[in-house]
Amino acid sequence: MNNDWDALVEFDEQHLWHPYTSLSHPTPVFPVKSASGVRLTLADGRELIDGMSSWWAAIHGYNQPTLNAAIENQLKYMSHVMFGGLTHKPAIDLAKKLIDITHDDLQHVFFADSGSVAVEVTIKMALQYWASLGQPQKQRLLTIKNGYHGDTFGAMAVCDPDNGMHHLFSNVLAQHLFAKSPNCSGQTAYDQAAIDDFERLLKTNIDTIAAVIIEPLVQGAGGMRFYSAAYLKKVRELCDKHNVLLILDEIATGFGRTGTLFAYEQAHIAPDILCVGKALTGGYLSLAATLCSSKVADGIGSGQHPTLMHGPTFMANPLACAVANASLDVLFASDWQASVHSIETQLKAELAPCSVFAAVKDVRVKGAIGVIELHQTIDIHWMQPRFVELGVWVRPFSNLVYVMPPYIIEETDLTQVTSAIKQVVSEMSDSPSQPGL
Ligand SMILES: *Cc1c(COP(=O)(O)O)cnc(C)c1O
């Protein structure tokens, strides 16, 4: 790396916060100069094969010509106008598409500027729905442990109560209800004990519960856990039986990642409210959306306060909507099911051998998501540079090494990613004195 970059990285280390990092104990960061297809080019010229899709988002890879063109074209008209009192075609087109590709029940769209904000909006909708129906005491949410729904205060209050940052702020967070998370190891098996716990909490607190919020089939940043469609189906049945709303957070799972366009399709159910984000713009710009049914929208509208009190400055940003429209066009013009399926098959075959290593607790794959769960928390100071040396971009956290590559990744590139994972996990297992353990 040349001197210019050394100075810039040093400045970064002293002045910039990165996600979930400390300024007093910085972890290494790697300067990226450009990205194209599935490759990130570092400032020193090294190329890394991307295993992360920049956190579920860049499903078509980087520097995608159609997505680039959509932004360039939209720039000629306007990059932004306020959405209060004005509207525009990129937003209308995108809302139409989202209504079209999601369940028929979902008919109304709120555009938010990030996933966390979409979750905040969802919570407001649920609470306001019950307030409008004359039940303002219904203010609590029921969720499951190991969830992740974002970093803002409303969203944080429904994240896993034990891992993450929840405990730091527990005194100021809304108090919600957490059921046992469904069994992860037998992905197809139905977990009766988890359902019993869920139903018990639902029944005993029904007077105060507004909604259930859950990530369908895959719990992302709260533990990379997979659970059965049968569990999700049962959750929907219980929500109907006890008359509470079901909110599905598909911010991570949406747009094909689990093998179906939305994970809820595998349980043959529909949510009352749905959050999408991350891959919505193909990873180009920050945009998310909350969709709801007419039942929810009409409920809110029938109340004494029929206005949904939310309206971000950059709501429905035209550049973001334009690139989201293009991303959906690219997705549907491709055989994404086949791509996700072949990534799944390859991840299963190539990650399975990792289970023999002493450091490994579990290996699991669902759709284009591969997870190696380790017995112990990884040492990021050792493991991150090691992955870079091996020419791949894999960003582990806690005790999890996981990948969700762009759908366009080629077989040989994916093999390089899985080989690097095997290598790193074997090095951890070989020498217990190694900093990786
Ligand atoms: C990432 C994520 C969020 C938060 O989205 P941001 O855009 O980071 O605010 C919420 N829910 C789930 C399931 C996520 O994976």
Once rounded to an integer, what is the mean pLDDT over residues 343-347?
98
Once rounded to an integer, what is the mean pLDDT over residues 8-22?
94
User: Would strands 32-36 and 400-403 be described as parallel, antiparallel, or unpaired?
Assistant: unpaired
Q: What is the pLDDT of residue 257?
A: 98
Residue of 53, 59, 148, 158 with the most ligand 1 atoms within 8 Å of its CB, for mutation: 148
Report d(CA 144, CA 287) in Å as an integer: 26
Report d(CA 387, CA 392) in Å as an integer: 6
Q: What is the pLDDT of residue 2?
A: 60
Q: What is the pLDDT of residue 167?
A: 77
Place of tokens 């206005």: 307
Is the pLDDT at 39 greater than 80? The verdict is yes
Is the pLDDT at 353 greater than 80? The verdict is yes
Q: Which residue owns the Cα nearest ligand 1 atom 10?
A: 149
Query: Which long-range contacts does 178-181 make (Cβ < 8 Å, 24+ apart)?
Result: 178/143, 178/144, 178/145, 179/142, 179/143, 179/144, 179/145, 180/144, 180/145, 181/144, 181/145, 181/146, 181/147, 181/219, 181/223, 181/225, 181/227
Distance between Cα 118 and ligand 1 center (Å): 9
Q: How many residues does the chain have?
A: 437
Once rounded to an integer, what is the mean pLDDT over residues 224-245?
97
Q: What is the pLDDT of residue 26?
A: 87
Indicate the pLDDT class of residue 187, thresholds 50, 70 and 90.
Answer: low
Point out the residues that are catalytic: 20, 148, 249, 278
Distance between Cα 115 and ligand 1 center (Å): 5
At 267, list the tokens.
């349980």
Q: Which residue owns the Cα nearest ligand 1 atom 6?
A: 115
Q: What is the pLDDT of residues 359-387, one digit of tens each?
A: 999 999 999 999 999 999 999 999 999 99
Q: In 159-228, which ranges are continuous DSSP H helix?
A: 192-204
At 115, list the tokens.
């996933």
Distance between Cα 117 and ligand 1 center (Å): 9
Distance between Cα 52 and ligand 1 center (Å): 15
* Amino acid sitting at position 310: H
Q: What is the pLDDT of residue 170?
A: 83
Is the pLDDT at 185 greater than 90? The verdict is no
Question: Which of 227, 215, 184 shows the shortest CA–CA distance to 363?
Answer: 184
- For residue 100, the tally of other CB atoms under 10 A from its CB is 9
* Amino acid sitting at position 174: A
| 286 CA: nearest ligand 1 atom | 7
Q: What is the pLDDT of residue 178?
A: 97
Does an H or E element contain 132, and which? Answer: helix 115-132
Does an H or E element contain 34, and which? Answer: strand 32-36
Report d(CA 51, CA 400) in Å as an integer: 14
Residue 364, SS3 per DSSP = strand
* Amino acid sitting at position 81: V
Could you tell me the CA-to-CA distances from 215 to 57, 218, 249, 252, 317 in Å, in that order? 16, 6, 5, 8, 26
Q: What is the pLDDT of residue 431?
A: 58
Residue of 54, 151, 215, 278 with the most ligand 1 atoms within 8 Å of its CB, for mutation: 278
Distance between Cα 150 and ligand 1 center (Å): 5
- For residue 171, the tally of other CB atoms under 10 A from its CB is 6
Is the pLDDT at 165 greater than 80? The verdict is no
Architecture of domain 68-333 in this structure: 3-Layer(aba) Sandwich (3.40)
At 46, list the tokens.
């090294």
Q: What is the pLDDT of residues 219-230, one digit of tens each?
A: 999 999 999 999
Once rounded to an integer, what is the mean pLDDT over residues 6-22?
94
Is the pLDDT at 433 greater than 50? The verdict is no
Judged on CB neighbours under 10 Å (0-12, 13-18, 19+), 411 is: exposed
CATH topology of domain 3-63+335-430: Aspartate Aminotransferase, domain 1 (3.90.1150)
| 252 CA: nearest ligand 1 atom | 15
| 55 CA: nearest ligand 1 atom | 1
Could you tell me the CA-to-CA distances from 368 to 62, 123, 322, 392 in Å, in that order? 17, 29, 26, 17
Mean pLDDT of the chain: 95
Residue of 52, 54, 113, 116 with the most ligand 1 atoms within 8 Å of its CB, for mutation: 116
Q: What is the pLDDT of residues 243-283, one digit of tens each?
A: 999 999 999 999 999 999 999 999 999 999 999 999 999 99
Residue of 217, 251, 274 with the most ligand 1 atoms within 8 Å of its CB, for mutation: 251
Residue 171, SS3 per DSSP = coil
The backbone region for 223, taken as left when phi is positive above 0, alpha when psi lies in -120 to 50, beta otherwise, is: left
Could you tell me the CA-to-CA distances from 27 to 188, 401, 425 in Å, in that order? 38, 17, 20
Q: What is the DSSP letter of 2?
A: -
| Domain ranges, ordered by start, for the chain | 3-63+335-430, 68-333
Report d(CA 2, CA 42) in Å as an integer: 12
Q: What is the pLDDT of residue 435?
A: 46
Once rounded to an integer, what is the mean pLDDT over residues 155-167?
85
E-strand stretches of 87-158? 106-112, 140-144
- Calculate the CA 60 to chain-centre distance: 16
C-alpha R_g of the chain: 22
Distance between Cα 149 and ligand 1 center (Å): 5
Q: Which residues line ligand 1 (CB under 6 A)?
A: 114-116, 119, 148-150, 215, 220-221, 249, 251-252, 277-278, 288
Q: What is the pLDDT of residue 436?
A: 44
| 152 CA: nearest ligand 1 atom | 9
Percent of the chain with pLDDT over 70: 96
Indicate the pLDDT class of residue 58, thresholds 50, 70 and 90.
Answer: very high
Of the candidate ranges 7-11, 22-26, 29-33, 132-136, the one whose mean pLDDT is the lowest = 22-26
Indicate the pLDDT class of residue 190, thresholds 50, 70 and 90.
Answer: confident
Q: Which residue owns the Cα nearest ligand 1 atom 8?
A: 115
At 157, list the tokens.
């209050």
| 278 CA: nearest ligand 1 atom | 7
What is the greatest pairwise CA distance in the chain?
A: 66
Is the pLDDT at 164 greater than 70? The verdict is no
Residue 189, SS3 per DSSP = coil
| 249 CA: nearest ligand 1 atom | 13
User: Would strands 32-36 and 140-144 be described as parallel, antiparallel, or unpaired?
Assistant: unpaired
Distance between Cα 232 and ligand 1 center (Å): 20
- C-beta of residue 425 within 8 angstroms of C-beta of residue 360: yes
Judged on CB neighbours under 10 Å (0-12, 13-18, 19+), 264 is: buried
